[in-house]
């Protein structure tokens, strides 16, 4: 396509908008050799591209903020914990972004962790959610050995979910730990969720 001046582009738009039969030869885009593209066609393609991008961005505008205890925040930050166990799952398709809120204090909070307790310390992408369940039939002792990736024992899983009940494992990938933890107010929240809640992607600021 020719390189057009602003005036020529305006003229081409006016002609296409008028839709007058035989106006193409008068259009600045017109090339007798046939090597040209109508400005109306180009504009329709651009409009379609904008709609596609808007829909794609719209699908990713909703994120999740998870409340996680300090000990497990530390395990996530170290890369040992790759799956977060929850009793339910969000009604949005994977992948989606999750923000990590480190809960305040508690018996498992160490001295070095207190600086980021009560802050959003990082984020990750949840690429998959899968069911997790453990049923204790009383035939053997419940294992106290931690399940890899979950960093939970069978006893802890049953205590949290209930015997034989199904929970959901949220995969943790593309982890980012912030140098400067964020406040809940940056996500439009006055208090943390008990488990998780929806938030705008990127916060409100």
Print pLDDT tens along the chain (205 aa): 456 565 665 566 556 554 444 456 666 666 666 555 555 555 555 555 554 554 455 455 689 999 999 999 999 999 999 999 999 999 999 999 999 999 986 655 454 555 678 999 999 999 999 998 877 656 556 666 678 899 998 889 888 998 888 999 999 999 999 999 999 999 999 999 999 999 987 766 5
- Count structural domains, the chain: 2
- Residue 109 counted as domain residue: yes
Q: Which residues span the domain enclosing 76?
A: 62-200
Q: What is the pLDDT of residue 158?
A: 87
Let me know whether 118 and 144 are in one domain. yes
Residue whose C-alpha is closest to residue 170's, from 63, 42, 56: 63
Let me know whether 147 and 172 are in one domain. yes
pTM of the model: 0.66
Q: What is the pLDDT of residue 201?
A: 78
CA distance 5 to 10: 9
Q: What is the pLDDT of residue 155?
A: 86
| Pairing of β 96-102 and β 62-68 | parallel
Let me know whether 10 and 25 are in one domain. yes
Kindly report the number of other CB atoms within 10 A of residue 192's CB atom: 20
Q: What is the pLDDT of residue 19?
A: 47
- Residue 31 counted as domain residue: yes
Let me know whether 45 and 70 are in one domain. no
Residue 112: CATH number of its domain: 2.30.130.30
The beta strand positions in 50-202, using DSSP E, are: 62-68, 83-86, 96-102, 119-126, 129-133, 146-147, 152-153, 166-171, 173-182, 196-200
DSSP string of 108-143, one letter each residue? T--GGGTTTTTEEEEEEEE--EEEEE----SSSPPP
- Residue 153 counted as domain residue: yes
């Amino acid at each position: 396509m020719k390189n057009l001046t602003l005036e020529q582009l305006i003229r081409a738009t006016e002609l296409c908008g008028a839709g007058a039969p035989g106006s193409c030869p008068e259009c600045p885009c017109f090339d007798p050799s046939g090597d040209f593209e109508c400005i109306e066609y180009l504009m329709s393609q651009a409009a379609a591209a904008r709609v596609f991008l808007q829909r794609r961005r719209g699908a990713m505008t909703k994120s999740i903020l998870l409340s996680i205890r300090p000990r497990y925040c530390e395990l996530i930050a170290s890369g040992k914990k790759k799956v977060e166990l929850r009793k339910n799952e969000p009604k949005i398709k994977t992948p989606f972004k999750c923000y990590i809120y480190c809960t305040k204090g508690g018996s498992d909070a160490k001295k070095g962790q207190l600086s980021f307790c009560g802050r959003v310390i990082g984020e990750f992408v949840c690429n998959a959610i899968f069911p997790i369940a453990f049923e204790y039939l009383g035939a053997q002792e419940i294992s106290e050995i931690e399940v890899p990736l979950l960093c939970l024992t069978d006893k802890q899983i049953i205590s949290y979910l209930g015997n034989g009940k199904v929970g959901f494992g949220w995969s943790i990938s593309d982890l980012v730990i912030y140098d400067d933890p964020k406040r809940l107010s940056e996500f439009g929240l006055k208090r943390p969720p008990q488990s998780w809640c929806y938030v705008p992607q990127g916060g409100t600021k």
